[in-house]
Structure 1
Amino acid sequence: MTLDTLAPWIAQHPLPLWLCGMALCALLGGLALQGLRALRHQQSPLRRWLHPASATALLVMAMAAAACALLAGGAVLAALAESGQATGTWGRVDEAIAHQLRTQASMGDLRWFATVTHLGDSWVLAALTVAVTAALWWSKHRLLAVGWFVAMAGNGLLTKILKDVFARVRPEHVHGAAQADGFSFPSGHSSASIVAYAMLAYLAVRLLPRRWHLPAACTAGALVFTTGFSRVVLHVHYASDVLAGWLLGGTWMVCTVLIMDSMARWRGAPPTLAHQ
């Protein structure tokens, strides 16, 4: 399928594409959970390799790995921004999809996605950040509380800085179903939602009985896709804005968890998954 046929198809069939995307991302969430379980398993080759290392060495390694991941993510983000220029590959994809959505998206579809896009609104996630931080702190999971807060607040700060650096103008959106101000790249809704919902799934795996782990991981994947996809359908963001948001938020979330787990080991309380 060429770009000339793909862009109109996306504009004409956003609901089926949304359902398929949710199912795929829910599957990815389940696979991520299986990967986490394999990594934490006592017989994991990585665990056997790291076992002799001291807690301090592991913490230093985790910080170095996080720094490398952030640098690599930044390089990919810059390349995506460059490709998103008018003459770049992603620029042509972005403009084709945005044009078709402006001319063909139905008001019913727009109203639906204008509703679900609130999953990534600043006020929703700010309230969630405060509530989860307070609940974790009150239940004496202090390291998890700090990690959760740093993940959410740090991602918000990074997103704002990068928006100002890249200063990309948003696509035209005059349908009235949704409004968005400020710069476009990377998508704040997309980056914040992947941090929030993936971190909530991680907390569920750490703290809740095993029967809740898979539903939490799959739900997180579906919510992350829904939030990002809604921004494209509402044409308040280009597709590359959303991809950049997912890249930024996912990288930041993984780095936060990596350092948080290493801190727990350094403090003498290795993180474990709930099994009951």
Structure 2
Amino acid sequence: MSTEAPLVLAARQLGAHALPWFLVLLAVAVIGAGLACHTLQKRHFRTLDTEEPSEPRIALGLASGFMLILLASSLFAWIASNISDGRVLGQADHALTDAIALHLPRTALVAFSWLTHLGDAAFLAPVCLLVAAVLWWHAHRGLALGWVLALGGTVVLNPALKQIFARARPLHDHGLALETSYSFPSGHSAGAIVSYGMMLYLLLRTLPPRWHVPGAMAAAAAIVTIACSRIFLQVHFASDVAAGLLTGLAWLLVCVSSLEYARHRQQRRALA
């Protein structure tokens, strides 16, 4: 009879069937994002521009965002306090990584080694400049500034957190990915949720409604794929990825809330 903790056993089983579970997660995320966007879109267009958002509504939105930031920060703190090898979460991290290394097909590893580049700084930096230039050209200068600050914030925040926790990366010998920085939290995961989340926000703000649902589904697919690729390539533990997503989500909420608040303030001044 096994003496391993249930979380460790579950991690080992998950790692043994990681690819099917990834496909399930991807499908749920993509369909869920599409349905959520469609639902919010229908509610939005029932009251589209009939009146300016009231102060209580703006305050409620900002308060909700603040509570989500607190929740993300609390979850991050819990993960950070339980990632040592002697704790159950640390053991589960190693069990999942070992099981993936044992069971994931080489062809899947190669595919994820290419897909993970969608979260590389070398890929996102020119995308950042291109999107900013397009926004500036079309006179969306506030959005351009917000976009650059959002992506720039992750460049500062994540390396600082890595230096604080100084967690070693998992060991692997597949030769498809090489990382030399610390492991916790995952910079690719944080960068993915901020970059593709902000792209979705810009799409919702600037493009016709027919692009909204496909944009939400594409953003969800990119975030989930990049985050999972870091685990499959064994360059991050699962808790690194979870922490990266949480820090990225918190920063994304700060950026979007700030842009929305500034937009409503500007509209109120224009109507005054």
TM over 0.5: yes
Q: CA RMSD in A?
A: 2.9
CA offset at residue 42 of structure 1? Answer: 6.5
CA offset at residue 174 of structure 1? Answer: 1.8
Q: Which residue in the other structure is 1:273 paired with?
A: none
Q: Which residue in the other structure is 1:261 paired with?
A: 260
1:26 aligns with 2:12: no
Q: Deviations over 1:175-196 (max 9, x none)?
A: 1011111111110000101111
Q: Which residue in the other structure is 1:160 paired with?
A: 159
TM-aligned CA distance change 1:117 to 1:14, over 3 Å = same
CA offset at residue 122 of structure 1? Answer: 0.9
Q: Which residue in the other structure is 2:19 paired with?
A: 15
CA contact (8 A) 1:231 1:237 kept: yes
TM-score, normalization by structure 1: 0.84
CA offset at residue 207 of structure 1? Answer: 1.2
What is the DSSP-based 3-state SS (H/G/I as helix, E as strand, rest coil) of the residue aligned with 2:195?
helix
**Equivalence map 1:202-213=2 (5 Å):** 202-213=201-212
**Equivalence map 1:242-257=2 (5 Å):** 242-257=241-256
For 1:84 and 1:65, the matched residues in 2 are separated by 29
For 1:51 and 1:26, the matched residues in 2 are separated by 32
For 2:176 and 2:250, the matched residues in 1 are separated by 31
CA offset at residue 165 of structure 1? Answer: 1.1
CA offset at residue 65 of structure 1? Answer: 6.8
Q: Higher mean Cα deviation, 92-101 or 132-141?
A: 92-101
For 2:43 and 2:153, the matched residues in 1 are separated by 26
**Equivalence map 1:22-171=2 (5 Å):** 22-34=26-38, 36-37=40-41, 40=44, 51-52=54-55, 62=62, 70-171=69-170
For 2:254 and 2:36, the matched residues in 1 are separated by 15
Q: Which residue in the other structure is 2:218 paired with?
A: 219
CA contact (8 A) 2:69 2:253 kept: no
For 1:52 and 1:124, the matched residues in 2 are separated by 40
| Matched letter for residue 142 of structure 1 | R
CA contact (8 A) 1:69 1:255 kept: no
CA contact (8 A) 1:168 1:183 kept: yes
For 1:184 and 1:79, the matched residues in 2 are separated by 17
TM-score, normalization by structure 2: 0.85
Task: Extract unaligned runs of 5+ from structure 1.
Answer: 271-276
Q: Deviations over 1:20-67 (max 9, x none)?
A: 1111111332244256547756769xx99x61569xxx58x94x7766
Q: How many residues are treated as equivalent by the alignment?
A: 263
